[in-house]
Structure 1
Amino acid sequence: MRFTDFDTRGYPTVDVRTGYAGWVGTYEDTVQDAMDIALLDRLSEPSWSTVDRAVDLGCGTGRTGKWLRDNGVRAIDGVDLTPEMLAVAAGRGAHDKLVEADVTDTGLPAGGYDLLIASLVDEHLDDLRPLYAEAARLAAPGAVFVLVAFHPQFMMVSGMPTHYTDEGGEHVAISTNVHLVSDHVTAGLAAGWRLAEMRERLIDEEWVALKPKWRRYAGQPVSAAYVWRRV
């Protein structure tokens, strides 16, 4: 679904690689753990400490990779499209290997991972099916795929694209798409995944404390986590 149908900001828009290269210097100060890490904390599965090998799809600066390490995941590979983000992730040291590649075509060997995770990536994809298919290709038997996403309802209500402020103080949007919950379910089932758990995060008082201007969105779902198991 085209985000332009809901866009209320009208920021100039750049592609994903250009956008994250421009955002890298302030990314860690901008993205709140309440959006994604808080949802990972609330999942009842998988048992993170039993994971032998994980792949972090769209690993960015390594925020998710560090959380996985802190929660007992023993080996983690990371994939990202943007060299500048990978350089920050390398400095953080949470990953065993980092690969510059598209999350839908990683080039990694098939069947090598018992956990696959993608956080705040899907809104940059025109079509979800290649991501779910690539995750299925990489998955070992019985693997789990955890995907954390902006909630489509929030994107529609707020009219706000993924964006950052450049060095000149201007707001710049990164190519953004809206994917319905049904789009995730359709793509996941088609790739041979079974939905095991789903959690949604609402704009609550914690969020309002972080972003006071978001009080007008109180009670709206802002993000969602899907837990898939390989059929």
Structure 2
Amino acid sequence: MEFSDFDTRGYRTVDVRTGYGAWVADYEQTVEDAMDIALLERLRVPLWDGVTRAVDLGCGTGRTGQWLRGKGVATIDGVDLTPEMLAVAQRRGAHDRLVEADVAATGLPDSAYDLVISSLVDEHLDDLRPLYREAWRLATPDAVFALVTFHPHFIMTSGMPTHYTDDAGESVAITTNVHLISDHVTAALDTGWRLVELHERVIDDEWVALKPKWERFRHHPISAAYVWRKDG
């Protein structure tokens, strides 16, 4: 499904590496914890402090890695396509190892992680299947894959791509795709994953306080968290 069918902004669009490289300076002042961290906090699976080794796909500036570290995850590797983001993550120090690579082709070893996690990445992928396959390859038997995503309903209803404001004050979009819930389920099940948990976050009082203009989206879903297990 093409985002262009829903686009109401018409922003100039750049690729992921270019966009996040330019956005890095104020990325963390733009992305709200209500989008992803709040969903991770709701999950019953996995037991974070029982995780031995995690890989953070699309680790960005290290927000998710820092949260995982605070939850007691012992060892965390991070992968991201954008060197500018990785430089911030390196300074943050939450990851044991950082790798510049595509999230669907990391070059990391097989069956090395009992947690694979990816947050706010999949809307930039043309096809979900390579991500789910790479997560499977990286996962140990009985490992968990936790994925947080923009809800397709919000992308379609708002017509708003992932975007940032550049130094000249222009709003610039980063390549955005629409993946339905069924797209995730099909890609995951075809790979072998079993769904063990799913949460959807809606626009509520907290969100409206953060973004008053989003009152018109109240009660609409904005993000979702999937938890998949690789049965041993």
- 1:23 is displaced (CA, Å) by 0.2
**Aligned residue pairs: how many?**
231
- 1:13 is displaced (CA, Å) by 0.0
Partner of 2:92: 92
- Supply the AA of the counterpart residue of 1:90: Q
Structure 1: 5+ residue runs without aligned partners? none
- 1:28 is displaced (CA, Å) by 0.5
- Supply the AA of the counterpart residue of 2:171: H
Cα RMSD after superposing both structures: 0.3
SS of the aligned residue for 2:173 comes to strand
Q: Spell out the pairing of 1:82-231 with structure 2 (5 A cutoff).
A: 82-231=82-231
SS of the aligned residue for 2:25 comes to coil
- 1:98 is displaced (CA, Å) by 0.1
CA distance in 2, matches of 1:215, 1:96: 41
Partner of 2:2: 2
CA distance in 2, matches of 1:215, 1:117: 31
- 1:188 is displaced (CA, Å) by 0.3
- 1:199 is displaced (CA, Å) by 0.1
Partner of 2:28: 28
Query: TM-score normalized by structure 1?
Result: 1.00
- 1:180 is displaced (CA, Å) by 0.1
- 1:31 is displaced (CA, Å) by 0.1
Alignment of 1:13 onto 2:25: no
SS of the aligned residue for 1:169 comes to coil
CA distance in 2, matches of 1:32, 1:134: 27
Runs (4+) off by over 3 Å: none
- 1:124 is displaced (CA, Å) by 0.2
Query: TM-score normalized by structure 2?
Result: 0.99
- Supply the AA of the counterpart residue of 1:88: V
CA distance in 2, matches of 1:193, 1:84: 32
Partner of 1:49: 49
SS of the aligned residue for 1:196 comes to strand
Q: Deviations over 1:80-99 (max 9, x none)?
A: 00000000000000000000
SS of the aligned residue for 1:25 comes to helix
